[in-house]
Chains A and B, each alone.
Chain A
Amino acid sequence: GAVVSQHPSWVICKSGTSVKIECRSLDFQATTMFWYRQFPKQSLMLMATSNEGSKATYEQGVEKDKFLINHASLTLSTLTVTSAHPEDSSFYICSVPTSGGQRGTDTQYFGPGTRLTVL
């Protein structure tokens, strides 16, 4: 499976500041990456799809001006939480979709996540 890294693994910031989270696909070129958010004891909620060479597509209810996504290369996508507030505190996880080479075997490999705490 694909190896995915995220940086930083955790970050604490003051309310009103911006935070950038990086997601890297270490052994697989990805034209698409996904960004999820996970609150404690809840499942993953898809926030947006990061597309290399084009704008990200956001899920309903996710503010695109608040969560800026840049798919800088085939191995790097960044999520910037702008003007962060305490309610943005969460676990942010990226994933890289891959194909097993057979029809319908697409699945996703996840990064280790970034824990954001906004004071």
Chain B
Amino acid sequence: QKEVEQDPGPLSVPEGAIVSLNCTYSNSAFQYFMWYRQYSRKGPELLMYTYSSGNKEDGRFTAQVDKSSKYISLFIRDSQPSDSATYLCAMRKRGSARQLTFGSGTQLTVLP
């Protein structure tokens, strides 16, 4: 079993829709959570960083962490065609020398 599970999609939604992307993890040692966006043939770009349970909002993006359920989500409101990319969740354990464990990524397409 992988330490981090992420639905690979692909996920296709109409423009303006609310998108929900999710990851689950099995190891409670993961304490810090990130979402990255990766466009085709580009490096990942950090979108959100959280380390406590609850919600964190940044513009159209909301990151949600539920440590008791070992479940994290990224919500995208009013999705745009420019949001079409692969979204990767990533996690880090306390004291892990900054090494990240990534989900497999969810490919999202927002249709105009």
- Could you tell me which A residues sit within 8 Å of B by CB distance? 1, 4, 6, 32, 34, 41-44, 46, 49, 91, 93, 95, 97, 100, 104-113, 115
Q: Total number of A-B contacts with CB less than 8 angstroms?
A: 60
Identify 27 residue pairs between A and B in the complex whose beta-carbon atoms are under 8 Å apart, listed by A's number.
A1-B46, A4-B43, A34-B99, A41-B8, A41-B107, A42-B105, A44-B88, A44-B102, A46-B100, A49-B97, A49-B99, A91-B41, A95-B43, A97-B98, A104-B51, A104-B94, A106-B32, A106-B92, A107-B32, A107-B49, A108-B46, A108-B98, A110-B43, A110-B44, A112-B43, A113-B43, A115-B41
Give B residues with C-beta under 8 Å from A: 8, 31-32, 34, 36, 41-46, 49, 51, 88, 92, 94, 97-100, 102-105, 107
A101 to B61, CA, bound (A): 23
A42 to B107, CA, bound (A): 11
Decide yes or no: A106 and B88 within 8 Å by CB, A44-B44, A113-B42 being known contacts.
no
Interface pair A112/B42, CB less than 8 Å apart: yes
Chain B interface mostly: loop
A109 to B46, CA, bound (A): 7
A10 and B32 alpha carbons, distance in the complex (Å):
32
- Could you say which residues of chain B place their CB within 8 Å of the CB of A93? 43-44
Check A43/B46 contact, CB under 8 A, given A91-B41, A108-B98: no
A113 to B42, CA, bound (A): 6
Give the docked Cα–Cα distance between A112 and B41 (Å).
8
State the CA gap A73–B49 with chains docked (Å): 28
Residues in B neighbouring A106, C-beta threshold 8 A: 32, 92, 98
With both beta carbons as reference points, the residue of chain B lying nearest to A94 in the complex is identified as: B43
With contacts A43-B104, A104-B32, A104-B94 taken as known, whether A113 is within 8 angstroms of B46 at the C-beta atoms is no
Complex Cα–Cα for A91 and B43 (A) = 9
A116 to B8 Cα, complex, angstroms: 24
